Chains A and B, each alone.
Chain A
Amino acid sequence: EPEVTQTPSHQVTQMGQEVILRCVPISNHLYFYWYRQILGQKVEFLVSFYNNEISEKSEIFDDQFSVERPDGSNFTLKIRSTKLEDSAMYFCASSEPKTGMNTEAFFGQGTRLTVV
């Protein structure tokens, strides 16, 4: 069964360092997303990506964040200068369009980012 894969599963980084989280969405999906979940809190939307550009972003997704689809399979989230409050589980998700209907998003297993 196709699935969204994320690497690494756990990343520890020092405050102020740059990190790149990687994702391989399901191959025939066209919409890609990043969400995050701070420990004990709800899943929060960061950004969506379609047709090689950002289609929607939340207030959390400020200038420190960027996304890229460097090739035909990978989707990345970069945090330029990490802060302690960036510590969270980051989930990548993907979905496919169905004309006139919503589409369910399928999530990866997440990358646990710890900023020290």
Chain B
Amino acid sequence: EDQVTQSPEALRLQEGESSSLNCSYTVSGLRGLFWYRQDPGKGPEFLFTLYSAGEEKEKERLKATLTKKESFLHITAPKPEDSATYLCAVQAGNQAGTALIFGKGTTLSVSS
């Protein structure tokens, strides 16, 4: 069964304190791994897509990496506005448009 596990469930950081969020996955035939940001009461906001092991993507203070078993979302010098829940999702199979399987997310709180 395809699964996504994220850790930690919650993370509290001081402003400027860098850290990493983990996403472990088990999937038969990974087509892509996705990171989303979700603010309370809102829909997931797309951040990154990673397709193959070794790939890295960056956007402002965020950097996503991918291995054959897990992905990391590195947050460098976070600010309070980075506080949100970060969701990891995988897409499996051999067709475009197939379902995303989400993890439970990591809720990040950054205090000033």
Contacts and interface: CB of A to CB of B under 8 A. Distances in A.
A102 B96 contact: yes
A97 B95 CA distance: 10
Interface of B: 31-32, 34, 36, 41-46, 49, 51, 87, 89, 91, 95-105
B98 A56 contact: yes
B44 A48 contact: no
Given A31-B96, A42-B103, A48-B98, A102 B51 contact: yes
Contacts of B44: 43, 91, 107
Contact of A45 (B41, B46, B99, B104): B99
Interface in A26-55: 30-31, 33, 35, 41-45, 48, 50, 55
A45 B100 contact: yes
Main DSSP-derived SS at the A contact region: strand
A101 B97 CA distance: 10
Given A43-B89, A97-B96, A110-B43, 6 more contacts: A31-B96, A45-B100, A102-B91, A104-B34, A105-B46, A107-B46
Given A31-B97, A103-B96, A109 B42 contact: yes
A65 interface: no
Contacts of A58: 99
Contact of A55 (B34, B97, B103, B104): B97
B97 A50 contact: yes
Contact of B87 (A41, A43, A45, A101): A43
Contacts of B34: 104-105
A95 interface: yes
A88 B44 CA distance: 15
A106 B34 CA distance: 11
A50 B32 CA distance: 19
B97 A48 contact: yes
B46 A103 contact: no
Contact of A102 (B41, B49, B99): B49
